[in-house]
Amino acid sequence: MSGASLAGDLRAFGAAALKEWRLLRRYPTLFVGFLFWPIALPVAYVFQARAYAGDSPAALDAFAQRSGTTEVAGFLFLGWAAYMWISMILWGPGTALRTEQVRGSLEALFMTPASRLVILFGPLVSQVVWALWMFSVVIGTMTLVFGVDIAAASLPHALAVIAVAVPALYGLGALFAAVVLRFGEVSALVQAVRGVFTVFCGMSFPIVVLPEWGRAVALALPPTYLIGDLRRVLLAEAELTDMLPDLVVLLALGLLLTALAVVAFRATERYARRGGSLAQY
Amino acid sequence: MSARAVEAIGLVKEFERGRRTVWDRLRRRPDRRERFRAVDGVDLAVEYGEIFGVLGPNGAGKTTTMKMLATLLEPTSGTARVLGRDVVREAREVRRRMGAVLSDGRSLYWKLTARENLEYFAALYHVPGSEAAERIQHVLNAVRLDDRADDYVERYSTGMRQRLVLARALLPDPELLLLDEPTVGLDPQSARDLRDRVRDLQGQGRTVLLTTHYMEEADQLCDRIAIVDHGRIVALDTPAGLKRTIGATEVVRLEVTAANGQAPVDGALLGRLARAGEVTHIERRDGALAVTVHSRSARDFVPAAFDAAQAEGVAIRHVEVVPVTLEDVFISLTGRALRE
């Protein structure tokens, strides 16, 4: 790719994010939804935990032994915040592609010289704003309502963990987009994967409670590392160097999934260009 | 610069008809899908600076051909070069230099303004940031939407949306524009307006390749026309040249009734009419026999037709003389009307 082409694609990337952001702004009620769910979902689990264990020191000790923290509210809020962000990314590229297909704009996009990666990932950039908004709401609620103590110095570490997780999660999202191009529908698959993540990645409980085979599954899934490491930096004030092996695994999974996604997307685009399915839905 | 703006040789596109479910695959049932050719060996050469029309009925393969040239579909066989670049091997280069209107206003973002739509596509077409605002204003002026540029597209009329789609195609400042049925669904005024814009584009030195099933549109706009049917080009010439091929200057349409007011038995009458002109179409309609005749001179043919009617004891209740149209050319080539 030439330098001019790369610069053009980078500009297009920004334009895709801006377009998506403009479209989102035209539906302001969405912001209310994004204020509600990051609080409502974990709060329900916090009260459930209280119902089961109350303030019993023995119960909290048992939880701390398994999870590494006594901050039940913080544990649950971070788990569900990560889950919601992951859901956004899993749905993102596939849904964006599907929306363009149904709207009738996909062919217009594919007739431009912009890289397919722009079309695939550009709209997702706007979701960074949503993710920041959601994590801000979650951390604000944790600290102000539930009194969870989070050191300001931990926040850059948390951002670093999120950044390392991005390639793996976006790679998964792009794989789903390839499925959309091939089959025109991806929601059933996304729901199934979200179910697997909910059970195995420790959204609402530490993975040590899983059976051995379940832990093995958990360690093969990128969200496990993201959620675990976010809790470690924000609730246990761990240093990034403490989590280096995790971050290396996360990056490796990211590279693998991104490469897989690029290959799958190219193959399905070729399939669509042979069969004429770009405009079919 | 390559010799021709578009050059296709033996272009073929096959699709599968029917379906094969996952269950069929798992059961290893034989594949019973039928392959059919939507485009069947099209050869095309479009010169720089011309408006070239592809005229044919729905399902003739026009859109499939355009999609192959626009790199959206891969040909099954044959080759196509657009602005000197191969549409398969150099697809990205083709996209960089060509504009295309292959869809209607649905392909726009209705919750964005026209300017916001164009800003997005300008970036996708890699228009340099320093030139984008000026380029967008230029294309808005070209399609006469500059005064409504900051309105949401959802508030536009169908014709305005189609003009915006054209503006989008102009963003890369293309040497070649592909327009697939650009006036379908437009009211006559909007369609005329869009045709004017297409003429303006030719005036700016651009090449236009358009498909249409409106013969008047093809006749008025195009320097040359390829008539397609069942995926093949059945004739290619200038509009005047195509009309000359049927060997007549006028078309005479007669409605004949028998004395009892019913459509007459046609044999003897048609034999007489055929001696004075070329009978091309016969149809029983509303209790009359509708006969279409190609004639070199209606002035000579019409009296002869009345003589024939009198001799056969039938009455001509309606006579219409019109110049030869591309519709007549299509009928003479395929035996069917364009809208059938």
Q: What is the pLDDT of residues B8-64, one digit of tens each?
A: 999 999 988 888 887 888 888 888 888 889 999 999 999 999 999 999 988 899 999
Q: What is the pLDDT of residues A20-74, one digit of tens each?
A: 889 888 887 877 777 788 888 889 999 998 898 887 888 889 999 999 888 899 9
Percent of chain A with pLDDT over 90: 34
Task: Answer yes or no: do B126 and A278 touch at CB < 8 A.
Answer: no
CA-nearest of B49, B77, B33, B25 to B223 is: B49
Q: Grade residue B152 by pLDDT with cuts at 50, 70 and 90.
A: very high
Residue B331 burial class via C-beta count within 10 angstroms: exposed 0-12, middle 13-18, buried 19 and up: buried
Q: Do residues B207 and B200 lie in contact, with contact meaning Cβ atoms separated by under 8 Å?
A: no
Candidates B74, B124, B170, B177: best to mutate against A (most CBs of A within 10 A) is: B124
Question: Above 70 in pLDDT, residue B260?
Answer: no
* Least Cα separation, residue A88 to chain B (angstroms): 22
Q: Of B247 and B193, which is predicted with more confidence?
A: B193
What would the two tokens of residue A220 be? 């093969």
* B306 vs B314: CA distance, rounded Å: 9
CB count in 10 Å sphere of residue B70: 24
Q: Of B262 and A190, which is predicted with more confidence?
A: A190
Q: Of A256 and B29, which is predicted with more confidence?
A: A256
Question: Above 90 in pLDDT, residue B207?
Answer: yes
* Three-point CA angle A114, A118, A123, nearest 5°: 135
Q: What is the pLDDT of residues B67-80, one digit of tens each?
A: 999 999 999 999 99
Percent of chain A with pLDDT over 70: 98
B chain contacts of residue A23, beta-carbon cutoff 8 Å? 109, 111-112
Lowest mean pLDDT among A81-85, A126-130, A260-264, B34-38: A126-130
Lowest mean pLDDT among A124-138, B134-148, B302-316: A124-138
B chain contacts of residue A273, beta-carbon cutoff 8 Å? 71-74
Q: Could you say which of B16, B92, B100 has the minimum Cβ distance to residue A113?
A: B92
Question: Token match 């524009």: residue?
Answer: B177
A chain contacts of residue B68, beta-carbon cutoff 8 Å? none
Question: Above 80 in pLDDT, residue B193?
Answer: yes
pLDDT score at B83: 95
Question: Above 80 in pLDDT, residue B197?
Answer: yes
pLDDT score at A109: 92
Task: Answer yes or no: do B64 and A114 touch at CB < 8 A.
Answer: no
* Least Cα separation, residue B108 to chain A (angstroms): 6
Find the closest chain A residue to B168 by CA distance: A108
pLDDT score at B49: 95
Candidates A112, A116, A266, A274: best to mutate against B (most CBs of B within 10 A) is: A112
* Least Cα separation, residue B124 to chain A (angstroms): 5
Q: Say what the alpha-carbon torsion angle B322, B323, B326, B331 is, to the nearest 10 degrees.
A: 50
Q: Could you say which of B107, B109, B121 has the minimum Cβ distance to residue A112?
A: B121
Mention every residue, 6+ apart, whose C-beta is less than 8 A from residue A130.
A34, A88
A chain contacts of residue B73, beta-carbon cutoff 8 Å? 273-274, 276
pLDDT score at A2: 67
Q: What is the pLDDT of residues B113-123, one digit of tens each?
A: 999 999 999 99
Q: What is the pLDDT of residues B281-300, one digit of tens each?
A: 888 887 788 998 988 888 88
Q: What is the pLDDT of residues B133-148, one digit of tens each?
A: 999 999 999 899 999 9
CB count in 10 Å sphere of residue B188: 8
Q: Do residues B146 and B114 lie in contact, with contact meaning Cβ atoms separated by under 8 Å?
A: no
B chain contacts of residue A16, beta-carbon cutoff 8 Å? 120, 123-124
Q: What is the pLDDT of residues A221-244, one digit of tens each?
A: 999 999 999 999 999 888 889 899
Residue A47 burial class via C-beta count within 10 angstroms: exposed 0-12, middle 13-18, buried 19 and up: exposed
Assign B137 to helix, strand or coil: helix
Task: Answer yes or no: do B72 and A22 touch at CB < 8 A.
Answer: no
Average predicted confidence (pLDDT) for chain B: 90
Q: Could you say which of B93, B102, B124 has the minimum Cβ distance to residue A114?
A: B124
* Least Cα separation, residue A22 to chain B (angstroms): 7
pLDDT score at B261: 60
pLDDT score at B169: 94
Please report which helix (H) or strand (E) contains residue B138, including its range: helix B129-142
B chain contacts of residue A10, beta-carbon cutoff 8 Å? none
pLDDT score at A281: 57
Task: Answer yes or no: do A113 and B126 touch at CB < 8 A.
Answer: yes
Find the closest chain B residue to A119 by CA distance: B124
Mean pLDDT on B263-268:
68
Lowest mean pLDDT among A132-136, A163-167, B93-97, B146-150: A132-136
Question: Above 80 in pLDDT, residue A184?
Answer: no
Distance of CA B180 to the CA centre of its chain: 7
Q: Do residues B109 and B116 lie in contact, with contact meaning Cβ atoms separated by under 8 Å?
A: yes
